[in-house]
Structure 1
Amino acid sequence: MEITSPRTAEQPGPTKTDEKGCCEVAPGANTVEQEEDEETSYLPTIISLVLLLAGIALDYFKVDWFTGYIRLAVYSFAYLLVGGKVLLHAARNIAKGSIFNEFLLMGIATLGAFYIGEYAEGVAVMLFYVIGEHFQEAAVARSRKSIKALIDNRPDIVDLVQQNQIKSINPQQVKVGDIIQVKPGEKVALDGNLLTERSSFNTAALTGESKPDTKSKGEKVLAGMINLDQVIQLQVTSTYENSALSKILQLVEQASSRKAKTQQFITRFAKVYTPVVVFLAIALTLLPYFFVTDYVFNDWLYRALIFLVISCPCALVVSIPLGYFGGIGAASKNGILFKGSNYLDLMTKVDTVVMDKTGTLTEGVFQVQEVQVNGLDKAEFLALTAALESKSTHPVALAVVAHAGESYRQKLVTNVEEISGHGLKGNVDDKTLLVGNGKLLKKFQVAYPAEIDSIVESIVLVAINNQYAGYITIADKIKEDAQAAVARLHQLGIKTIVMLSGDKDSIVQKVATSLQIDQAFGGLLPEDKVTHVEALKKQGKTVAFVGDGINDAPVIALADVGLAMGGLGSDAAIETADVVIQNDQPSKIATAINLGKKTNQIVWQNIGLAFGVKALVLGLGAFGVASMWEAVFADVGVAFLAILNAIRIQRMKF
């Protein structure tokens, strides 16, 4: 029952547009209209390819009529079909002051090829560049598949129940407190509490978990879930814009704006690299005039054009952000939301994982085990205690309220004060109650039997009018995959796993021993958790903290990477976290780390491939060994390979 004001992490802004004029992947920028035009956009490319192949065949067989202006017209038409937009982009960027960019490189190289009469090669360079763009679009679409599934899970209409009548309206018009009806097979449009006794839901879109989740009356149902059993009714708890699904979509859309350091480096590199390449190409064309006796302008211009084509940074600028976005897409498919590609990188450096206990490693669903009273009627004791606990959302408080039934509802509760890390103080009817742990009673100098401190289970102590009145023991259950999660983290090379909890130290140590956790500390206040994480960071450790409660928000923000359990977790924890685990499974912590490692490997493979091949062919081109066809492979071919490598992560099992 700890309440601490969270330090909310700064939210990223909208996805940035491409300011440098390169072929950077901007996954968030795709629109419905663009997707509808995808099929028709292939037609010019196909026609250009047919004309190029026909022209090459006519050249090879030396057809008499295929000469002069006819030959130039065929190749020019094939060129404009694919190169027109590229030249237009180059012109627009120059008008905006962005002169040196990939479009300029492609334009100079291909127009230069036409100037020296190498029509087929000029068309081929532009054609394969555009084909590479199509591959990029297809790869981005594949990466976005799981995210699009979330978007598709937002129903356009919802059945509103008013005065025993059903009215179909837009979900954005529904208000908090309204009652909606959902039929079997329909998607839930808004978050709400279940009014029907029981129903099962497909939660795969939100959690990545295919196993149906059965909800009972009063439990929360989230937008995006699919009703499986029967007609149900929900009382809406969040507006359309504030639903869990809308927040997930917002997080994913914002993710591409937070770039990894590798992406930031490539962006800066391209801005310097492109003008250097242009001036080197000019030098390669003109300087040999002063040093070579048999200088032929067209020969050296051809070498410079090859140099320009090879130098295009397309493979790097496309495949690196695509690799990161592929990682974000794969994570979404597995029920993990990264708020930026920079956190994928940070995951690879984590060597210490710190976890909360309740709601993270344990179910967070408590049940009352024993009620002991000191000279009071047990029913009255429970009613008074539950009345005050009803003002808290802590899992322990909810367990007490559930156990008490309806008896507490007639009680008048006033002057409620939640004391962080201790419990609740308030007035119930004409009595002053303290409900919490031993520290709370000691704080108010209320004596209680010493043997109570030796009880292992979670315990709620109660004092009425500054007199000890009794206690309630509560038990929690360890999550099914918690032990496997800890073992998997050790396998991935995590050196230290720490558990921090506000629960009794005896319970914390028992859970830690059961799960084989390296270090565990119990009886902590929220500020104590912050102190522990600060100490770990001072030791040079890269710390990931996993929590779910509002009291975990400060330490989630402090950690190098903050992870929140998004299913049952508080809004404060989810908003502050860098990574959100949608299905509350601790095993997903290892999945997130593994995803970061795999994504990082693919990105660096692409960097090595691009630089290696380009350096080799650049050398060959400068000495006149490589032709324009080798240049096409060094640019577009390597981009193809890099794109194919980047989308591999979508097929990996984690």
Structure 2
Amino acid sequence: MDENKEYKCTCCDSCSEELPGNNTQNRKIYIPVGLSLAALLAGIIMDNLISRYFNSHYRLIWYILAYIPVAYPVFREAVQTIRQKDIFTEFSLMIVATLGAFFIGEYPEGVAVMLFYSVGELFQASAVDKARKNIKSLLDIRPDTATVERNRNYITIAPEDVKTGETILVKAGEKVPLDGIMISVSGSFNTSALTGESKPKTIREGEPVLAGMLNIDKVIYIRVTKKYEDSSLSRILEMVQDATSRKARTELLIRRFAKIYTPLVFFFALLVTVIPYFFVTDYIFQDWLYRALVFLVISCPCALVISIPLGYFGGIGAASKAGILFKGANYLDLLTKVNTIVMDKTGTLTKGVFNVQDIVSSVAVEKDELIEYAVALEKKSNHPIAKAIVAYGKDTIKDYPATDIEEIPGHGLKGDINGHEVLAGNANMMEKYHISYDKSIDLIPETTVIIAIDNTYAGYITIADEVKEDAADAVRNMYMNGINQVVMLSGDKSSITESVASRLGIGKAYGNLLPEDKVKHIEQLKSDNENVVAFVGDGINDAPSLAMSDVGIAMGGMGSDAAIEVADVVIQTDQPSKIVTAIKIAGATKKIVYQNITLAFSVKLIVLILGGFGVANMWEAVFADVGVSLLAILNAVRILKMKF
């Protein structure tokens, strides 16, 4: 997101005015508004105190001078939209209404209509800036420099110029410029800019560190693993920028409505002026033209086309503040309809931090030899289980050469280790290669990695994972927030999957699943038209399920790039409880949007009827239109203050 970029209003196709994003742009509106307001008040005073010296010619010239500062920008925008063959816009509507007021001699009202329209623009600009503040604050965490080791010296360069594999130094109080692996023993970091969590996080040697984290402890050293453009921070900025440009269905509907609504307003205003001529005996053209102008002013769709996009924008901002990234306003809408949540187990509901519990070898293989072969093979994988095995045996193993490593999704790894074909995986892996093994392994309640060497069973390694602290509360709150069913799908053995599901209160759980099996389960759920399905996962093998679901939710803190790319919503904290937070934010956003729609239509309808019968004058129409717009805008930004 370019902070110097001039942002355009996206409320409707006919509206292309710049939304002020800095003080210089705001002054461009404040100055003409101030001049027009002063001239209008002076004109009203002269009308009442020195009217005999303030004749019609001087009066007209005075109000034209008051009119020009606020009318010029609107005329300019109207010309631009007409050039684009878009004639019936809010700009042309304002121009016709105000010029009509001048035509019938209602000069102060003509100035007032344009002036209050400009005041509404000021409030709109302020509200947009406030809603954007959460998102643009991400720019403040983007480090400008990186201290990198080159030729045994540390030099300061731009993060974009640092290469993967290089070592960077981060001092206490500095932000981490690039994603990498901790080389120092440990460090304490403030991760609130990325995750929304204020609690410091301790990261130890060998664990990942993300760009944008604030080092609050001491000097630490990091080995860079990703280029700047591929870092988590850059990815977040890109996703948030894209999110603000993707329209929700309601927003798109209002845009289409505005394109039809505005020409109809002109047509009905014309009818209000002309039709009474044929039915009213004491017809006075100026009176009915005045009623038509009141009709035009109150019919301005500003409240709708401003507040609805702003409501979604506020929802995206509130979510990003909580460490949740929606890739589009449309997913805020869709998440409110979700009634079925399908979840992966490892890394989603469990920490994905595994520890080796036991190593059991067959008679033909020594225990040390078994772990040595397993480590040599698993070193080529980024799976949490593989990392646990490597960490367990890193100080005691021989460095066996490994070639032809192949990852078989949902099964395990296959490769040539020290001249032997080695398989490491689950029971499905053994069955795939027709290898007999001890079937009692299937009854073990922990995760097991079965090893085969040269097509012969060699033993197994048991590994335990830990359920996330907030997982049980998250599942319970899902049911309390409109979710009818929660399902767990896992590639892990069924006994483990069912055990974890039982502990968390999940009704249905299926284990021993390949990625394509997960997709089939989701397809089956979606075959029931009443189900709107969200899938939550974090791994590469979850990408097909994330893409297949109605809403894909990725655990983005430690999740794979593939999962994050495919997902529609990204949970930066990796906390299952944030799924419920996302649902609440989506629901609050939808409620605010519909409140604004109801408010705008009901007030406008009442004043339209009053104006048609000659009860409401143009001043009341102006205050009603601007008042509704301001209330709708204030309601839209209210979401930023809500607690979820």
TM bucket by the smaller chain? over 0.9
Aligned partner of 2:570 among 580, 585, 604:
580
Paired with 1:409 and 1:288, the residues of 2 have a C-alpha distance of 98
Count of matched residue pairs: 637
Aligned partner of 2:618 among 623, 628, 640:
628
Paired with 1:500 and 1:390, the residues of 2 have a C-alpha distance of 26
The 3-state SS of whatever aligns with 1:37 is: helix
- Which deviates more from structure 2 when the two are superposed, residues 559-568 or residues 257-266? 257-266
Name 1:522's counterpart in structure 2: 511
2:72 paired with 1:84: yes
Aligned partner of 1:244 among 229, 232, 249:
232
2:559 paired with 1:569: yes
Name 1:423's counterpart in structure 2: 412
2:591 paired with 1:601: yes
Question: What are the within-5 Å matches in structure 2 for residues 395-474 of structure 1?
Answer: 395-408=384-397, 410-474=399-463
Name 1:365's counterpart in structure 2: 353
Residues 435-459 of structure 1: per-residue CA shift (max 9 Å, x gap):
1111212222222222211111000
Paired with 2:247 and 2:281, the residues of 1 have a C-alpha distance of 51
Q: Check whether the contact 1:200–1:214 (CA below 8 A) recurs between aligned residues.
A: yes
Q: 1:30 to 1:250 in 2, by over 3 A?
A: farther
Q: 1:157 to 1:459 in 2, by over 3 A?
A: same
What letter is aligned with 1:439? Answer: N
The 3-state SS of whatever aligns with 1:410 is: coil
Paired with 1:190 and 1:72, the residues of 2 have a C-alpha distance of 64
- Which deviates more from structure 2 when the two are superposed, residues 364-373 or residues 284-293? 284-293
Paired with 1:196 and 1:85, the residues of 2 have a C-alpha distance of 58
Q: Check whether the contact 2:20–2:125 (CA below 8 A) recurs between aligned residues.
A: no
Aligned partner of 1:548 among 535, 538, 546:
538
**Larger relative contact order, structure 1 or 2 (CA cutoff 8 Å, min sep 6):** 1
Paired with 2:16 and 2:485, the residues of 1 have a C-alpha distance of 38
Paired with 1:202 and 1:291, the residues of 2 have a C-alpha distance of 74
Q: Check whether the contact 2:9–2:19 (CA below 8 A) recurs between aligned residues.
A: no
Q: CA deviation at 1:140?
A: 1.3
What letter is aligned with 1:142? Answer: K
The 3-state SS of whatever aligns with 1:215 is: strand
- Which deviates more from structure 2 when the two are superposed, residues 170-179 or residues 534-543? 170-179
Q: CA deviation at 1:161?
A: 1.9
Name 2:629's counterpart in structure 1: 639
Paired with 2:105 and 2:415, the residues of 1 have a C-alpha distance of 90
Name 1:5's counterpart in structure 2: none
Name 2:83's counterpart in structure 1: 95
TM-score w.r.t. structure 2 length? 0.96
The 3-state SS of whatever aligns with 1:234 is: strand
The 3-state SS of whatever aligns with 2:228 is: coil
Q: Check whether the contact 2:447–2:496 (CA below 8 A) recurs between aligned residues.
A: yes
Question: What are the within-5 Å matches in structure 2 for residues 208-607 of structure 1?
Answer: 208-375=196-363, 376-408=365-397, 410-540=399-529, 541-607=531-597
Q: Check whether the contact 2:170–2:176 (CA below 8 A) recurs between aligned residues.
A: yes
Residues 319-348 of structure 1: per-residue CA shift (max 9 Å, x gap):
111111110110001100111111111111
Identity among equivalent positions (%) equals 57
Q: CA deviation at 1:57?
A: 2.9
Paired with 2:475 and 2:158, the residues of 1 have a C-alpha distance of 45
List runs of 5+ in structure 1 lacking aligned partners.
1-13
Name 1:138's counterpart in structure 2: 126
Q: CA deviation at 1:352?
A: 0.5
Paired with 1:425 and 1:77, the residues of 2 have a C-alpha distance of 82
Paired with 2:243 and 2:477, the residues of 1 have a C-alpha distance of 27
Q: CA deviation at 1:508?
A: 0.8
Paired with 2:160 and 2:560, the residues of 1 have a C-alpha distance of 23
What letter is aligned with 1:653? Answer: K
Q: CA deviation at 1:612?
A: 0.5
Q: Check whether the contact 1:20–1:98 (CA below 8 A) recurs between aligned residues.
A: no
- Which deviates more from structure 2 when the two are superposed, residues 259-268 or residues 283-292? 283-292
Q: Check whether the contact 2:317–2:640 (CA below 8 A) recurs between aligned residues.
A: yes
What letter is aligned with 1:384? Answer: Y
Q: Check whether the contact 1:128–1:636 (CA below 8 A) recurs between aligned residues.
A: yes
Question: Cα RMSD (Å) of the superposition?
Answer: 1.9
The 3-state SS of whatever aligns with 1:460 is: strand
Residues 257-292 of structure 1: per-residue CA shift (max 9 Å, x gap):
221111111111111111111122122222322332
TM-score w.r.t. structure 1 length? 0.94
Q: Check whether the contact 1:222–1:244 (CA below 8 A) recurs between aligned residues.
A: yes
Name 1:155's counterpart in structure 2: 143
Paired with 1:508 and 1:547, the residues of 2 have a C-alpha distance of 15
List runs of 5+ in structure 2 lacking aligned partners.
1-5
What letter is aligned with 2:242? Answer: Q
Paired with 1:291 and 1:333, the residues of 2 have a C-alpha distance of 60
Paired with 1:215 and 1:464, the residues of 2 have a C-alpha distance of 37
Runs in 1 of length 4+ with deviation above 4 angstroms? 14-21, 29-32
Aligned partner of 1:179 among 167, 172, 175:
167
Residues 380-405 of structure 1: per-residue CA shift (max 9 Å, x gap):
22111111011111111110001011
Q: CA deviation at 1:40?
A: 5.1
Q: 1:19 to 1:98 in 2, by over 3 A?
A: farther
Q: Check whether the contact 1:24–1:321 (CA below 8 A) recurs between aligned residues.
A: no
Paired with 2:138 and 2:253, the residues of 1 have a C-alpha distance of 32
The 3-state SS of whatever aligns with 2:230 is: coil
What letter is aligned with 1:84? Answer: Y
Q: 1:627 to 1:272 in 2, by over 3 A?
A: same
Q: 1:555 to 1:493 in 2, by over 3 A?
A: same
What letter is aligned with 2:301? Answer: P
The 3-state SS of whatever aligns with 2:488 is: strand
Q: Check whether the contact 2:355–2:465 (CA below 8 A) recurs between aligned residues.
A: yes
What letter is aligned with 1:642? Answer: A
Aligned partner of 1:612 among 592, 602, 611:
602
Name 2:3's counterpart in structure 1: none
What letter is aligned with 1:554? Answer: P
Q: CA deviation at 1:106?
A: 0.5
Q: Check whether the contact 2:326–2:569 (CA below 8 A) recurs between aligned residues.
A: yes
Paired with 1:590 and 1:477, the residues of 2 have a C-alpha distance of 21
Q: 1:56 to 1:301 in 2, by over 3 A?
A: same
- Which deviates more from structure 2 when the two are superposed, residues 284-293 or residues 463-472? 284-293
What letter is aligned with 1:400? Answer: I
2:109 paired with 1:121: yes
The 3-state SS of whatever aligns with 1:84 is: helix
Name 1:55's counterpart in structure 2: 43
Q: CA deviation at 1:593?
A: 0.8
Q: 1:15 to 1:161 in 2, by over 3 A?
A: same
Residues 296-330 of structure 1: per-residue CA shift (max 9 Å, x gap):
22111111111100111101100111111110110
